[in-house]
Chains A and B, each alone.
Chain A
Amino acid sequence: MRRMVLLACLLPLAACAGRQSPLAPAALQAEWLHWLLMLMFWVCGIVYALVIALLGASIWRGRHRLAAKPEIEPDDRRLSRGLGVWAGMIVVGLTVLILGSFVVERQLADMRAHEALVVRVTGQQWWWRVQYRDPAGGGWIETANELHLPAGRTARIELGSVDVIHSFWVPNVAGKMDVIPGRANAIDVTPHRLGWFRGQCAEFCGAQHAHMAFDVKVDTPAEFTRWLAAQARPAAPPTGAALVVANGACASCHTLRGTAARGRAGPDLTHVGGRRSVAAGTLPMSRGALQGWIAQPQALKPGTLMPAVALSGAQADAVAAYLESLK
């Protein structure tokens, strides 16, 4: 039994190494914040340990005198010297924390001079619109719920919201930044460790706040360039029963570049099959997940603004197969 309790206490620690954790930094900004967190942990930890130790010592020393009358010694030299040292330690501890946070703050702000790439991220109820500058022209290439970043380059993430306040948070990469309607917030990220990480809306924004996640992929610069070039290409046009994507209800909200679908309110679906998840982290990407999502979005993500659309079985089948093929 005792072993089980011990194991249960250790379990939460397993989360620390994960792909959504500030304790496993993968970017310069996260490294600094992690350093600051450790500094706070040690300063506060030492102060806490000292307080508990001194409290324990005083109880131990006075254990025989508890019943007796308290002794009052108005000019206890050692006591006043001890209090002086204690006050000095508090000042030193607070100064270390203030200097630490000042230095980290300056480091974060200085990255603005190194910005090499602009990505626009827009929060919507309940998903993320992600836009990159087209390397070939002046336009924007749009995707959703997946942020790709080149390692070793500083990206400026420009944040915007169309409805309520959201918060952009990828703990492995950087701290939180609120996404406020009508306000231009931005955050710099300089990732250096390759891999997949998870971001999450960190400000309660409505019924499906919990299902407002996104994947972050840190690529090598060459991989990133290849990925961006692939994203810039138009989608293969739909055929047969899947034509409803381009000229039916889907097209009123979704865009598929290269087809007649030019809706702007919902996520861009041009390369939807190449993404890792469906509906902002609600389901892992698969043809079945896509078909289930199209047939009954309210059952999978109650409150979502994606409506149930009347499609025949053959149409739903063809649409899911077509979307899954858009890598």
Chain B
Amino acid sequence: MRRVLYVMPAALLLFLAACEKEARVIAADQPQTPPRGAQDPRAAAYENNAYQVSQGGRYFTWYGCGRCHAVGGAGDLTTAGARSDLAHIYATVAHGHTSGSRIPSEQIWQIAAYIRSLPHIDAARAHRQDRDLRGEPQGATWSGALR
């Protein structure tokens, strides 16, 4: 019994350590600039943060990217996410698409981090993510919330 009392706080501390993955800055910020090459130190901060990645998934949906690049579809980006670094994906989103140049830089960072995360999520997680994002606005022809 006593051992449980010692182990419990340690276990709780372990749970807290997992919160770091969700850390977000709730404060004033300045517009972000594009990545400076493959070695940009900011890339890791986006790729390793669950909040930034999930925001990326949200913007991916908002801008209608999923219409051509649905996970499991013809334009699936899972292999692209495994093959290319974040800077390369950033450039493709920003300059390879007509509407990409309009997306604010911060959001392209997040979208690129989301695409980078695709090879690392399993089918169950992908399914859950798809369910979560299904109700969000989808591109310019979105007709309203699911009812």
Query: Does A57 touch B at the CB level, under 8 Å?
Result: no
A residues less than 8 Å from B31 (CB atoms): 307-310
Asked if B102 and A264 sit within 8 Å, CB to CB, the answer is no
Asked if A163 and B136 sit within 8 Å, CB to CB, the answer is yes
Query: Does A97 touch B at the CB level, under 8 Å?
Result: no
Binds A, one of B21-29, B39-47, B117-125: B21-29
Known: A265-B62, A310-B105. A252 touches B147 (CB 8 A): no
Asked if B62 and A182 sit within 8 Å, CB to CB, the answer is no
Query: Does B145 touch A at the CB level, under 8 Å?
Result: yes
Q: Tell me the minimal C-beta distance from A206 to chain B in angstroms.
A: 11
CA of A162 to CA of B133 in the docked complex: distance in angstroms? 8
CA of A207 to CA of B27 in the docked complex: distance in angstroms? 12
Q: Tell me the minimal C-beta distance from A75 to chain B in angstroms.
A: 54
Most buried by A among B26, B137, B146: B137
B104-126: CB near A (< 8 Å → 1, else 0) gives 11110000000000000000000
Asked if A252 and B103 sit within 8 Å, CB to CB, the answer is yes
Asked if B135 and A181 sit within 8 Å, CB to CB, the answer is yes
Contact of B28 among A163, A207, A298 (CB under 8 A): A298
Most buried by B among A162, A251, A262: A162
CA of A298 to CA of B31 in the docked complex: distance in angstroms? 11
Q: Tell me the minimal C-beta distance from B141 to chain A in angstroms.
A: 8
Asked if B106 and A253 sit within 8 Å, CB to CB, the answer is no
Asked if A162 and B137 sit within 8 Å, CB to CB, the answer is yes
Known: A181-B135, A207-B26. A161 touches B145 (CB 8 A): yes
Interface residues of B in 48-105 (CB under 8 A from A): 58, 62-63, 99, 102-105
Asked if A302 and B26 sit within 8 Å, CB to CB, the answer is yes
Asked if A251 and B102 sit within 8 Å, CB to CB, the answer is yes
Q: Tell me the minimal C-beta distance from A316 to chain B in angstroms.
A: 11
CA of A265 to CA of B27 in the docked complex: distance in angstroms? 23
Asked if B99 and A252 sit within 8 Å, CB to CB, the answer is yes
Query: Does B144 touch A at the CB level, under 8 Å?
Result: yes
Query: Does A299 touch B at the CB level, under 8 Å?
Result: yes
Asked if B146 and A253 sit within 8 Å, CB to CB, the answer is no
Contact of A264 among B135, B140, B146 (CB under 8 A): B140
A residues less than 8 Å from B137 (CB atoms): 162, 264-265
CA of A302 to CA of B28 in the docked complex: distance in angstroms? 7
Asked if A181 and B146 sit within 8 Å, CB to CB, the answer is yes
Query: Does B142 touch A at the CB level, under 8 Å?
Result: yes
Interface residues of A in 174-201 (CB under 8 A from B): 181-184
Contact of A309 among B104, B135, B146 (CB under 8 A): B104
Most buried by B among A122, A163, A265: A265
Closest to B140 in A: A262
A residues less than 8 Å from B145 (CB atoms): 122, 160-162, 181
CA of A309 to CA of B103 in the docked complex: distance in angstroms? 9
Query: Does A263 touch B at the CB level, under 8 Å?
Result: yes
B1-41: CB near A (< 8 Å → 1, else 0) gives 00000000000000000000000101111110000000000
Query: Does A120 touch B at the CB level, under 8 Å?
Result: yes
B residues less than 8 Å from A309 (CB atoms): 31, 104
CA of A248 to CA of B102 in the docked complex: distance in angstroms? 5
Asked if B104 and A249 sit within 8 Å, CB to CB, the answer is yes
CA of A318 to CA of B137 in the docked complex: distance in angstroms? 29
Closest to B59 in A: A265
B residues less than 8 Å from A247 (CB atoms): 102
CA of A303 to CA of B55 in the docked complex: distance in angstroms? 11
Asked if A182 and B29 sit within 8 Å, CB to CB, the answer is no
Query: 5 shortest A-B CB distances, which residue pairs?
Result: A160-B145, A299-B28, A310-B31, A184-B147, A265-B62
Q: Report B's interface with A, CB cutoff 8 A.
A: 24, 26-31, 58, 62-63, 99, 102-107, 135-142, 144-147
